[in-house]
Amino acid sequence: MMRFLILATNNQGKLQELRRLLAGTGWVVQAAPPDFAVEETGTTFAENARLKALAAAERTGKWSVGDDSGLAVDALGGAPGVYSARYGRNDGERISRLLAALAGQADRGARFICAIALAEPGRVLTEVEAECRGVILHAPRGNGGFGYDPVFLVPELGKTFAELDIAEKERHSHRGRAVRKLLSGCSRGTSIVDH
């Protein structure tokens, strides 16, 4: 029996990543309806993930996953944070703005953070959060990934997210770590593999 899980986004990069990460679990990941939109009024990634998951579950009547993720840069007091996707009109503009904000900064430490909420209509079933620490480079490197991936270096790997192959990125990324937590059901005892 196929079980459907709605991803509360129309971001194709996130959709493809989640499909790969949940491959073999029995869940078929579908995008939210094309006109789906949620105003991200939360002040944390977790709040926004909850808003998205609940809205998608109400809209579709199916279990839904809300993912909110972004980049928190130490020298910028955690910015762009929950505004990561709104830091510019496209990836190039967001990266340019970030690099300009860090011009002359010695501290280039940063974290990619991912919060995921799983909901059914009217109720959040479980939520998890994970992060990956790294360093912001002075210029982009690599052609893979999306978003801030070309400037986010994982020091122990010596590569940016944009230089990692898919399997490496899924092992090390904030989203990969969050999905593994979700699958293990570590938050509130609800695992999507049990249903």
Token duo for residue 104:
């002359």
Longest dimension (CA), the chain: 56
Q: Is 121 exposed, middle or buried (0-12, 13-18, 19+ CB in 10 A)?
A: middle
- Point out which residues pair with 109 in neighbouring strands: 135
How far is CA 3 from its chain centroid? Answer: 22
The answer to whether the Cα torsion of 50, 51, 56, 57 is positive or negative is positive
Q: Does residue 68 carry a catalytic annotation?
A: yes
Quote the CA–CA distance of 5 and 65 in Å, as a whole number: 7
DSSP secondary structure code for residue 164 in this structure: S
Q: Catalytic residue among 35, 67, 68, 194, which?
A: 68
Polymer length in residues for the chain:
195
Q: Cis peptide leading into 80, omega within 30 of 0?
A: yes
Number of H helices and E strands in the chain, helices first, is: 5, 7
Quote the CA–CA distance of 98 and 88 in Å, as a whole number: 9
Catalytic residue IDs: 68
